[in-house]
Amino acid sequence: MVNPIAQEPTRDEAAGAIEEGRTRLGIEFGSTRIKAVLIDENCRTLASGDYGWENQLVDGLWTYPLEDVWRGLQAAYGALAADVRDRYGCGLARIGAMGFSAMMHGYLAFDAAGELLVPFRTWRNTNTGRAHRELSELFGFNIPERWSIAHLYQAILDGEPHVPHVAFFTTLAGYVHWRLTGEKVIGIGDASGMFPIDSDKRVFDQGMLDLFRGLPEVAAQPWDIADLLPKPMVAGQDAGSLTTEGARLLDPTGTLEAGCPLAPPEGDAGTGMVATNAVRPRTGNVSAGTSIFAMVVLERRLKALHPEVDPVTTPAGDPAGMSHANNFTSDLNAWAKVFADFAKAAGFSIGADDLYGTLFRAALQGEPDAGGLINYCFYSGEFLAGLDEGRPVFARGPESRMGLGNFMRAQLLSAFSPVKIGMDVMTKDEGVQVDSLVGHGGVFTTPKVAQKILAAAFDAPIKVMSTAAEGGAWGMAVLADYLGHAELGLADYLDQRVFAAVESTTEQPDGRDVEGFETFFRRWRRGLPIERAAIGAIPLQS
């Protein structure tokens, strides 16, 4: 199979594919950027476009106005169409298949006339604590605060006047898909962040729907919960086609033709799994940036309720567990700036790649447990560590062995420690087996360093692939391509048609490093009162 990265299409090949409609479009709504990617039948990127946007805090809740959704969608698509014209000298009239993805969870509620009842409530809102606790206890299944059903139930508990008028509620990806196709459907991965999924039947869990119906406050409503939810669909299923109205919404210039088939709309977790070829049971991916999450595809549902693990599914409907931490690179970047300032003061100029490469490689020279040093990278609160707020803290005892290698190793060990809490729940408490994890994010740019430390943290092989930078919009475009190959299972399709020739490097866990990380991790958890004391002693500046 063609390597989608190594063998770029010629200009004539790409132009021919575009003019004949042998292309797939993926558009993903991230929290700060809407990105559009056009690929060919070999999943090679032909063109892209994006648009920056920001959420707003309105009446104490985080939201995006729906006007911004459509303005951003049209701008990202318009930038992609302009990229096509600039590169290939042709217009973008026909597209072979397309799909839309977005940040998961949140709450978009509509009445019977299709009118929005309250402003879009995003995943960032944490006003749903009571709903999270009561539903998790009722279901015996973790319902995080950001889930759509938590938002609906909290609105019920708060007596919000819009609740009796709800006729349909969905996610951002589900909303965009509905407006473009008229279909109230949702990809099963995105659906798993709305309400628990029965992974055997690939539908919302009937037993939990019944439990929800039985709540007195819910029973008093004029609707049935099953009538409000979109229909879950697995990857490869026909999720409708682009209507004439939808084509004009996407491309106001009128160039784009209607009739294009659409893949089920997915969440950003699912497109990330696809972009890293991590949809097969016993595989997973680790995405490291400002925040970090580790996702593992499970062979079975977790036996117990674990607040540290978000239960979700792959786009094919297989159960997956996610450990998510709010903090990762901010503290690393702050310390890197200190060393950059020192180099400048000493009369040296050093670029970012050399700076981070030098510091990260030094971490490999440190002791496996970082010589007794401790670091807490918390710029904000961290649910996994039981913290509502955060303060970055570096600490050591008088007998700790201070040096550049141990210092940088402590930085990296501490950055991976919060997400290790949820991973340990899965691997140690639940006996989840992990054959390999794919790492992606800037921290993996320096060869081997973050890979080796993450392999020690999770005691599992860590792979980094040449396609990892492609991102969620590319993953959504690949899911659109999968519409034509659904006779293969999703995992087989990705192995055989997308990633067959993709280059990768793998680091196996080293026994000394694993033991060293465990020693550091015990010290790190034992020292968490230091972090709590810092929160109490260092006020946030207003």
Q: Which residues does 399 contact at the CB level (< 8 Å), separation at least 6?
A: 372
DSSP helix, strand, coil percent of the chain (3-state; round to 5): 40, 20, 40
Cβ atoms of 120 and 170 within 8 Å: the answer is no
Q: How many Å apart are CA 346 and CA 364, to the nearest integer?
A: 25
Domain chopping of the chain, boundaries: 329-420+514-537
Q: What are the tens digits of pLDDT across the range 388-446?
A: 889 999 999 999 999 999 999 999 999 999 999 999 999 999 999 999 999 987 788 88
Q: How confident is the model at residue 125 (pLDDT cuts 50, 70, 90)?
A: confident
H helices of 22-147, in order, are 66-88, 129-139
Average pLDDT, the chain: 94
Other beta carbons within 10 angstroms of residue 233's beta carbon come to 24
Provide, rounded to the nearest whole percent, the portion of the chain with pLDDT above 70.
Answer: 98
Q: What are the tens digits of pLDDT across the range 257-266?
A: 999 999 999 9
Q: How confident is the model at residue 352 (pLDDT cuts 50, 70, 90)?
A: very high
Burial class of residue 226 in the structure, from the number of CB atoms within 10 Å of its CB (0-12 exposed, 13-18 middle, 19+ buried)? middle
Phi, psi for residue 448 in degrees, rounded to 5? 75, -35
Query: Does the pLDDT at position 6 exceed 60?
Result: no
Helix H, strand E, coil C: the string for 415-449 is HHHHHHHHHHHHHHHCCCCCCEEEEECHHHCCCCH
Phi, psi for residue 358 in degrees, rounded to 5? -65, -45
